[in-house]
Amino acid sequence: MGLIGEALIDGLPGGDAPGGAPFNVACHLAALGLEALLVTRVGADPDGEWLEREIASRGLSTRAVQRDPLRPTGRVTVDLAGGSPAFDIPPDQAFDAIEPVPAHDALAELRPSAVYFGTLAWRSEGGPGALSVVLRGIEAPAFVDLNLRAPWYDRGAVEAALEAAHVAKLSDGELLETARLMGLPDAPPFEQAATLCRRFSLARLFVTRGDQGVFVAEAGPVSVRILAAPAVAPPGLLEDTVGAGDAFSAVALAGMALDWPLSSVLERATALAGAVTRIRGALPSEPGFYAPFLAESREARP
């Protein structure tokens, strides 16, 4: 699978950690035994060297990691007050300047089963156009996780992302914000999700709702399916929710690539997301963390 977007350093209260949604998703996929190529850009600085080593240490190739001679490696300050992350993301970082032609060539050579992207790496002027160049001629279905981070998005960027995607994932808060940006009338969340599916010809739209579970809108004759299982740990076991959405996206991508039934995708995606909320930060430090999910993944294959 191909993943395009930000790899950066999360400045967490307990210290620095590698991060960025595409990086996190790629790490989960690799740990689950799937091939994942991360296309990103870091600075020609010590942070970039450290981040590139971290990418390699997670079993990922660094052949599509670009180096920027002018901009610094991306860095985000994460505030975990109350357990829910808040992000301070400076402008003009290396991941803002991913060169689209080399990125496209790396994905074309890979011939991926699916391509994942978000919106943050395309926040700069001309970003949506660069994304279009990257995806041009790539026949694999595209999966977008909107990951809206104020103030780094607008209606045009969100429209471009959804128009490029076959499958989308967003949180319940992001659904409300997307509905506002698109000028949708007030309606229950299920109806708004179905409207977005129709407007952007999405095959499927996942909406994560934390301890309220997940629902899915589908194209076709549009149907909405509800899963009551929570995607976060119970209050007594909750550490933080950093990266829970990325864990969900990784399993949803695996399900796309391996043609899992939707019921298996939802069950396993919420399980991995919930497990991530029991640890500090987005990624586990112990390889054994993934053992039960590897077994379940084999069971879910058709």
Domains of the chain: residue spans and CATH:
2-295 (3.40.1190.20)
Taking the C-alpha atoms of 248, 279, 27 and 97 in order, what is their torsion angle to the nearest 10 degrees? 90
195 forms beta bridges with none
Query: Could you give the CA distance from residue 162 to residue 144 in angstroms, rounded to a whole number?
Result: 7
- Tokens representing residue 148 in the block: 């809206």
Report CA dihedral (15, 60, 158, 12) to the nearest 10 degrees. 0
pLDDT, one tens digit per residue, over 133-161 is: 999 999 999 999 999 998 999 999 999 99
Would you state the torsion angle of the CA atoms of residues 216, 209, 91, 39, taken in this order, to the nearest 10 degrees? -50
What b/e sequence results for 217-233 when a residue is b if at least 16 CB atoms lie within 10 Å of its CB, and e otherwise?
A: bbbeebebeebeebbbb
Q: Which helix (H) or strand (E) holds 17?
A: strand 15-19
Measured distance CA(198)–CA(168) in Å, rounded: 12
| pLDDT, tens digit, 9 for 90 and up, residues 18-67 | 999 999 999 999 999 999 999 999 999 999 999 999 999 999 999 999 99
What's the whole-model pTM score?
A: 0.93
- Per-position b or e across 160-174, b if 16+ CB within 10 A of its CB: bbbebbbbbbbbbeb
Q: Is the pLDDT of residue 125 over 80?
A: yes
